Amino acid sequence: MRIGVAREVKTDEYRVALTPAGARELVEKGHEVIVETNAGEGSSFPDADYERAGARIVSLDDVWSLSELLLKVKEPIAREYPHLREGLVLFTYLHIAADEPLTRALVDSGISAVAYETVETDDRRLPLLAPMSEIAGRLAAQAGAYFLEKPLGGRGLLLGGVPGVAPGRVLVLGGGVVGYNAAIIAIGLGAQVTILDRSIDRMRYLDEILSGRVTTVMSSTLQIESSIADADVVIGAVLVPGARAPKLVTRSMLGVMKKGAVIVDVAIDQGGCVETAKPTTHSDPVYSVDGITHYCVANMPGGVPITSTKALTNATLPYVEEIAELGLAEAVARDRALARGVNVLHGKVTYEPVAEAHDLDYTPLADVLPLMPA
């Protein structure tokens, strides 16, 4: 199959959908890889690295028109819509339930679009979202520690303490992928860590693997009110699938917090779990409300593109290989996780929440592809 890698065009997006190592794997399996000029630049992968891996460097027009399978990181933006066409399979983060113009452009073009974020295993894991949550969680602990420094508006506390001086306290709201990764970095820095979650099974698991190094407590409004008063860093990491994040920290709760404490609201991409949170950017990441520093960067992994690109492609490559080897129809017939990723097929919306969101006809994937497993 001829697999293309397009350069990202959204502001502040430095990731690329395939590393030279990934390109080499595909070339060795007999596929042709074409990469748009300078696609890997932001992640420190020059064109020459792709060429050494056996890929061919091509223009923007060629990468879109010659590819059978096109890999991207972010959803196409308006100026990319004219490139969408029938016969092309697009594999990328799409988030089209919140983007009607793109949904209509995909449908009208007749393209087949597979969204990273809806690829879902039978046990409800999201394998192509998890690597970004891992990165955001780890960055959250680092950001919290950094913005505690006095010249940056923080309390002036070293999170890990030193011998003879107590460390700081980190409160993690939601012990999923983000929360777990935030906790292990905070523990590594020497902080005292408490995780609040609503799932007993999840807390049982966290207790088992982090035994003795974190305190897990059932999340409730009363518990949050009392834990937040002691915290130097609060990390918001809750997720209620398919819904906006619940506002667990209200403005009035800020009043009980220590002045100069830091809130890192990672859940900001789902609206945030802190009432006073609003999205910020890497170039202007923090602001203060009632003396509490708020860090609410909506695309945290974008700040570390070398790591993010490698982590993303580690996760996507097995699916890319499946599609390339078998073609989309056969690949989704054999892999139900990948099948759940198909949002649009030959111009039909095959992912129900997207159809519902935009009042479009929903066509079950099995109606379009008779190969679907029962």
Ligand X SMILES: NC(=O)c1ccc[n+]([C@@H]2O[C@H](COP(=O)([O-])OP(=O)(O)OC[C@H]3O[C@@H](n4cnc5c(N)ncnc54)[C@H](O)[C@@H]3O)[C@@H](O)[C@H]2O)c1
* Per-residue mark of binding to ligand X, 187-206 (x: CB under 6 A): ---------xxxx--x----
Q: What is the C-alpha to C-alpha distance for residues 299 and 251, in angstroms, rounded to an integer?
A: 24
Site for ligand X contains 308 (CB under 6 A): no
**Smallest separation (angstroms) from ligand X to the CB of 205:** 10
Residue selected from 133, 227, 313, 343 as contacting ligand X according to rule CB under 6 A: 133
- Residues 26 to 85: which contact ligand X by CB under 6 A? none
Whether 167 and 173 have beta carbons less than 8 Å apart is answered as no
Query: Which of 70/268 has CB closer to ligand X?
Result: 268
346 catalytic residue (yes or no): no
| 250 touching ligand X, by CB under 6 A | no
Residue 219 or 316: the one with the smaller Cβ distance to ligand X is: 219
215 CB-contact burial (10 Å; exposed 0-12 / middle 13-18 / buried 19+): middle
- Contact yes or no for 192/212 (Cβ under 8 A): no
Neighbours of 81 (CB within 10 A): 15
CA-nearest of 229, 126, 227 to 173 is 227
Touching ligand X, residues 16-35 (CB under 6 A): none
Say whether 269 is catalytic. yes
Nearer to ligand X, 197 or 321 (CB): 197
Select from 1-9, 157-165, 183-191, 244-252 the region that touches ligand X (CB under 6 A): 244-252
**Which region among 4-12, 87-95, 239-247, 364-372 touches ligand X (by CB under 6 A)?**
239-247
Q: How far is the CB of 310 from ligand X (least distance, A)?
A: 16
CA 272 to CA 235: how far, in whole Å?
A: 11
Does 240 sit near ligand X (CB under 6 A)? yes
Report the chain's terminal Cα–Cα distance, integer Å: 28
Among 96, 266, 331, 344, binds ligand X (CB under 6 A): 266
Options 37-45, 114-122, 296-304, 357-365: segment touching ligand X (CB under 6 A): 296-304
Given the residues 31, 269, 294, 335, the one annotated as active site: 269
Between 133 and 363, whose beta carbon lies closer to ligand X? 133
- The DSSP secondary structure of 345-365, one letter per residue, reads ETTEE--HHHHHHHT--B--H
- Look up tokens 């994040």; give the residue: 245
Site track for ligand X across 138-177, x = CB under 6 A? -----------------------------------xxxxx
* Interaction of residue 270 with ligand X, rule CB under 6 A: yes
Question: Which among 136, 96, 126, 117 has a CA at the least distance from the CA of 296?
Answer: 136
Phi, psi angles (nearest 5°) of residue 223: -65, -40
Number of residues that bind ligand X (CB under 6 A): 32
Give the span between the Cα atoms of 50 and 34, in whole angstroms: 9
* Residue 28: CB minimum distance to ligand X, A: 32
Complex with ligand X: residue 2 or 310, whichever CB lies closer: 310
Q: Quick check: 178 binds ligand X (CB under 6 A)?
A: yes
Cα 194 from Cα 307, distance rounded (Å)? 27
As given in the structure block, the two tokens for residue 316 are: 């996507």
Measured from the CB atom, is 95 or 346 closer to ligand X? 95
* Alpha-carbon span 282 to 304, nearest angstrom: 10
Residues with Cβ within 8 Å of residue 249, at least 6 apart in sequence: 173, 224, 228, 234, 236, 263, 273, 274, 275, 276
Task: Tell me the catalytic residues.
Answer: 95, 269
Where do contacts with ligand X occur on this chain (CB under 6 A)?
Answer: 132-133, 136, 173-179, 196-199, 202, 219, 237-240, 245-246, 248, 266-270, 298-301
